[in-house]
């Protein structure tokens, strides 16, 4: 269904703009994604937004997206660049903004045999790190990202932007540590943590499949009792003065080591 909205005071514009705040996202089960690249990535995965806002873009990808929405009888709203900016919170608004149903996969519905690599993040606080980790997961063919304890919202505008579309290719799960560890131990899976206290270099072990790569909070790392429950603790060599890597960078290094072992095998 196509329609036009040009007034800032329109109730739908106010409602959609409110999705920039976590409490409204949680209440509605919806989130915002913006930009042709991200929305096209979603469309290629067979995922269309609940609503699509655009300002009359003639870009071929925008036209394909609009056509797909109209064919599915979804809500397409023609509006102004100023209103798109108001919705997204950016002065230089993207050509399209989509409103999507949130994409949380319950822990019990994860098919651990569906991928060799899974990423688990504990109390991750930075949306840029979360988005980058999703991109890394997509790059190495991971099954998805399991967010443990109180992590940053994966559906915040900042996290979605940073994911560059990987939000739509990776499953996302949220769980408490106790629930996650009980689920993990009920089936196959090696839990691998990174720690400055580890004695093994990250390239020493032969990792098993499926491998669950556990990354800790950016400031504190993993709690000691969480480390104690890992099957393996490894560390990366630090040749300079820095004592650790950024959480997303460390995750990428480890994820590619896991991938390269599979490739060599």
The 10s digit of each residue's pLDDT in 184-220 is 999 999 999 988 888 899 999 999 999 999 999 998 8
Average pLDDT over the chain reads 93
3-state SS class at 32: strand
What residues contact residue 2 under an 8 Å CB cut-off, 6+ apart?
A: 70, 76, 77, 78
Instruction: Please state at what angle helix 127-140 crosses helix 247-264, rounded to 10 degrees.
Output: 10
Reply yes or no on whether the pLDDT at 1 is more than 80: no
Q: Are residues 97 and 166 in the same domain?
A: no
**Domain boundary residue among 79, 101, 123?**
101
User: What one-character DSSP code corresponds to residue 107?
Assistant: G
Q: How many domains does the chain have?
A: 2
- Range(s) of the domain holding residue 74: 2-101
Q: Are residues 150 and 185 in the same domain?
A: yes
Query: pLDDT category, 232, cuts 50, 70, 90?
Result: very high
Q: Are residues 53 and 17 in the same domain?
A: yes
> What are residue 173's DSSP bridge partners?
146
Q: Are 112 and 69 in contact (CB under 8 A)?
A: no
Q: Are residues 140 and 22 in the same domain?
A: no
Query: pLDDT category, 6, cuts 50, 70, 90?
Result: confident
Q: Are residues 242 and 132 in the same domain?
A: yes
Q: Are residues 241 and 113 in the same domain?
A: yes
**Domain boundary residue among 101, 130, 148?**
101
Query: pLDDT category, 239, cuts 50, 70, 90?
Result: confident
Average pLDDT of the residues in 214-232: 94
CA–CA separation, 255 and 257 (whole Å): 5
CA–CA separation, 184 and 148 (whole Å): 13
- Per mean pLDDT, which range of 95-99, 203-207, 241-245 is the poorest? 241-245
Q: Are residues 71 and 192 in the same domain?
A: no
Percentage of the chain exceeding pLDDT 70: 99
pTM of this prediction exceeds 0.85: yes
**Domain boundary residue among 80, 101, 122?**
101
Strands 117-122, 75-78: pairing kind: unpaired
CA distances to 12, 59, 112, 178, 189 from 183, in Å: 41, 46, 10, 9, 10
pLDDT at 95: 85
Strands 96-101, 51-54: pairing kind: antiparallel
Reply yes or no on whether the pLDDT at 136 is more than 80: yes
Q: Are residues 136 and 243 in the same domain?
A: yes
Residue identified by tokens 């932007």 is 161
pLDDT at 96: 93
Q: Are residues 121 and 41 in the same domain?
A: no
Average pLDDT of the residues in 42-71: 94
pLDDT at 143: 97
Q: Are residues 88 and 113 in the same domain?
A: no
pLDDT at 245: 79
Q: Are residues 116 and 142 in the same domain?
A: yes
Q: Are 52 and 77 in contact (CB under 8 A)?
A: yes
pLDDT at 243: 73
Reply yes or no on whether the pLDDT at 9 is more than 80: yes
Query: pLDDT category, 240, cuts 50, 70, 90?
Result: confident
Q: Are residues 64 and 88 in the same domain?
A: yes
Which CATH number characterizes residue 69's domain? 3.30.1330.30
């Amino acid at each position: 269904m196509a329609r036009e909205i040009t007034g800032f005071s329109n109730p739908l514009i106010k409602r959609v703009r409110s999705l920039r705040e976590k409490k409204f996202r949680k209440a509605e089960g919806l989130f915002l994604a913006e930009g042709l690249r991200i929305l096209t990535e979603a469309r290629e995965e067979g995922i269309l937004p609940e609503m699509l806002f655009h300002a009359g873009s003639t870009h071929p990808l925008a036209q394909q997206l609009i056509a797909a929405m109209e064919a599915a009888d979804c809500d397409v709203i023609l509006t102004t660049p100023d209103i798109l900016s108001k919705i997204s919170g950016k002065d230089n608004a993207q050509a399209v903004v989509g409103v999507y149903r949130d994409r949380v996969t319950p822990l019990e519905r994860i098919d651990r045999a569906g991928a060799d690599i899974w990423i688990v993040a504990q109390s991750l606080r930075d949306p840029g790190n979360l988005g980058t980790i999703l991109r890394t997961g997509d790059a190495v063919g991971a099954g998805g990202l399991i967010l443990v304890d109180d992590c940053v919202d994966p559906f915040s505008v900042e996290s979605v932007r940073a994911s560059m579309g990987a939000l739509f290719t990776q499953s996302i799960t949220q769980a408490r540590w106790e629930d996650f560890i009980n689920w993990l131990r009920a089936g196959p899976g090696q839990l691998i943590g990174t720690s400055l206290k580890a004695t093994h270099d990250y390239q020493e072990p032969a990792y098993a499949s499926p491998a669950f790569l556990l990354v800790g909070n950016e400031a504190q790392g993993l709690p000691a009792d969480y480390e104690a429950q890992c099957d393996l603790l490894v560390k990366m060599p630090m040749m300079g003065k820095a004592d650790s890597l950024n959480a997303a960078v460390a995750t990428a290094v480890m994820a590619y080591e896991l991938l390269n072992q599979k490739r060599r095998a």
